[in-house]
Structures are given as structure tokens and as C-alpha cells.
Amino acid sequence: MEIIVRSGDTLSYLSNLYMVPLELIIDSNPDVDPIHLKVSEKILLPGFISVPYTIKKDDTFWKIAHSKNIDVDAILLLNQNLDSKKLILGETMYLPERITKPNISAKAGCDYKSLVKIINHFQKVYPFIKVTVIGNSVLGNSIHEIRIGKGAKKVHMNASFHANEWITTLVLMNLVNQYLLSLTNGSLMGGRNTLELYQNVELSIVPMVNPDGVDLVLNGPPISLRDEVISINEGTDDFIHWKANIRGIDLNNQFPANWDIYKQNKRPKSPAPRDYPGDLPLTEPEAIAMADLAKNNPFNRVLAFHTQGEEFYWGYEGFEPAESETIAKEFEKVSGYEAIRYVNSHAGYKDWFIQEFKQPGFTLELGKGINPLPLSQFPKILKRAEAIFLAALYL
């Protein structure tokens, strides 16, 4: 929500008036001098939107403020063009409305277009977040990264490496939504003070690594590639079990962690709906973007959200540091998911991250069943994922 600075206004006053943490207001306005505000300067206030209100007979600022349980000056700030002593019947004014409920529906799948809409909403309502494009998919869709917080500890989480695991994007974005609501409303999340987490942790989120694949599963193939992807899909136009990117290359088998062993052992020897690692590691733009992200940022830990199994993997070939076990035990404790150190698998993002940087990495297999998991499982999955999400930030 945008407000215009008046003479005498300060960010501290605005923080108290709207009950939003001062730190979030400062971070939402990086180009504003927080000490010396200028009259008529525009300030973005996180966690609020302004909504139109039609003035009724006998309305006054004070009467409206009382009926809406809002401080009168919070309304005056939004309506500096109106005469505070005489409101005109039928005119439109604006009222501040605090956002207190999640904005994301879990009643349908989340495709690329839906994700972009959610991200745009977050940028508008929570301007202290930073959104960048770290790369593009084969079809040119943006691969977004969301940054929240500014602490020394850097935690990265990602979702939808695999196309038919799109529910992980819904889970991760709902967790982000809860986190942002907790920050702006001063409420706890899972019993945790999220403002402290914000101050101590910089959280990196890539909510959809494989946008082309997700769209293929949810919406079908683009007309220009229809024949090609049906051919890769063994002649069927049912893509419900497709995991790969649009070129039939499994993005989570694209990383140089014993890639050659994986290539030799896996059955698909050409593009396929799942498991084909490509002709070489890091050939796909989505995998390259994720590798570059890790190379360019000193992440202290990485969590990759997948489905299914209600378990998670936390080791790779002995490259994992000692603290990985401590974190794994906590994840297991708070979620009920089984912690598994080693599996006979290579070339995954988590595997490569552990091998390359010797930092904790985790592949989380949310839920249980056959992919894609039904949305009826979403509440249970979200609850367990929230416990792991928070533990990854506070440990």
C-alpha cells in the first residue's frame, strides 16, 4: 500500500500507526532515507492494501475509523485530498486493509501462469521481498527466485524439479505466504518468532524449476511441440506421469555428481518422460540456472522439495558435513518423515550440492502415493513441510 509523507511523519510513527515492524518498512523502501523523510515522498507499507469506500450520509473520518476499528490518522494518510471536516456523499475514499489470510488456493494445480500471478501479488503486498529471474526454461519461461530476510545464514529451497510433482510448488508458496503473513502481522508461525528468523536468515526460494514440464502435465503440450512430446511420451497424449523438462530430460539427473555412473545404469538412452539424464551433464537451461545459483551464492544448506515417500535423503558419498546428521534428526523429529542417509542414486541437485560445497543438502519426499499426489493430501503435507521449513531456518 502506498502512502504520501506529510510534514512531521516518520517511519517509526508509521510503524506504530499501522502496527507493522519498522524493519520491514525500511526494507520495503530501500531508496528512502529512513531518518529524513521528505514531504510528498511515497512510502510503501507492507502487509496492507487500500480499498475503495463510497462515502455515505453523515459519514465522518472519525465515524468510519470507529466502525472499521482503524486509527483515524491511518485513514487520513490515505485521503489527503479530501476535506476532513466535510465528506461529500457518494465520493470515493480509500481505507487501509490489513492482509491476514493466505492468498493461495490449494483447490487446483499451480501452473506457470498461476505462479507468476502469485509472485506479482507478493511483490505488491510484501515489497521487502526481492524477486529476480535466475534463468529461463527451454520455452523461455522465467525461473524466479524469491529472497526474504537479510541474515548471515543463507538457506535455499526449491520445488518442481519434476513436472508431475507440481504440488511441491503449491506447498512451498503456501509456506512462503504463511511466513510473510506472520512477519507483517507480528504473529508466530509454528510457535516461532519469524522476525527473528528474518533478521538471522536470508531465505532463497525457487518455487518452480521446471515450468515447461509443469505446464505440460497440467495443461497439455504447446501446439508447436505437440507431435514431438507425444513421440517422446511413447505415442500417448496423457502426460500425467511426465517428470522431465519439455525436451524429455530429467532435470534432477543433470548434475555432475557421478553423472556418468547414473547415465550408464539408467535404462532410458534417449529423451523420455522420466529418468533420462541427457547426453552430458548440465545441458538444460533449467539445470544450468540452478547450478549457477548455487555457485554464485554461499548457501549454508539446500532443501529440494519432491514427492513422494514421507522420507528424506541427507547424505551423499560421505561428502556431507557432520551438522547434516544433527539437522536430519531434527527434521525427522518434527515431521515424522524417515531420515535416510544414503540411497543408490547420483546426479541429483542435492547430491551435487553436497559434493561440490560440502554443505548440508536434503531431498524431501513429501506425501505418499503415486505421483502426482492428489490435492486431498495437501493439508497433511503442508503441516509436515511447515515443521521442516521452520527447522531449516532456526537450526
Question: Any residues with CB less than 8 A from the CB of 73 and at least 6 apart, and which?
Answer: 17
Q: Which of 145, 310, 332, 365 is catalytic?
A: 365
> What's the CA angle centered on 314, arms 310 and 317, to 5 degrees?
135
Grid cell in block for residue 194? 519469524
- Tell me the one-letter amino acid at 160: S
Task: Give residues with Cβ within 8 angstroms of 1, minimum separation 6.
Answer: 44, 45, 48, 49, 50, 78, 96
Our answer to whether residue 365 is catalytic in this structure is: yes
Among 88, 115, 93, residue whose Cα is nearest residue 103: 115
**DSSP states along 299-326:** -SEEEEEEESSSEEE---TT-S-THHHH
Q: Give residue 90's Cα distance to chain centre.
A: 41
Number of H helices, E strands in the chain: 14, 14
Q: Are 305 and 362 in contact (CB under 8 A)?
A: no
- Residue whose C-alpha is closest to residue 160's, from 139, 144, 148: 144
Burial class (CB in 10 A: 0-12, 13-18, 19+), 101: exposed
Diameter over CA atoms, the chain = 80
**3 state DSSP class of 278:** coil
Strands (E), 45-184: 48-54, 92-98, 130-136, 142-148, 153-159
Parallel, antiparallel or unpaired: strands 301-307 and 153-159: parallel
C-alpha cell at 330: 531434527
- Crossing angle between the packed helical segments 285-295 and 349-357, to the nearest 10 degrees: 30
The rounded distance, in Å, linking the Cα atoms of 1 and 98 is 10
Q: Give catalytic residues, as residue numbers.
A: 365
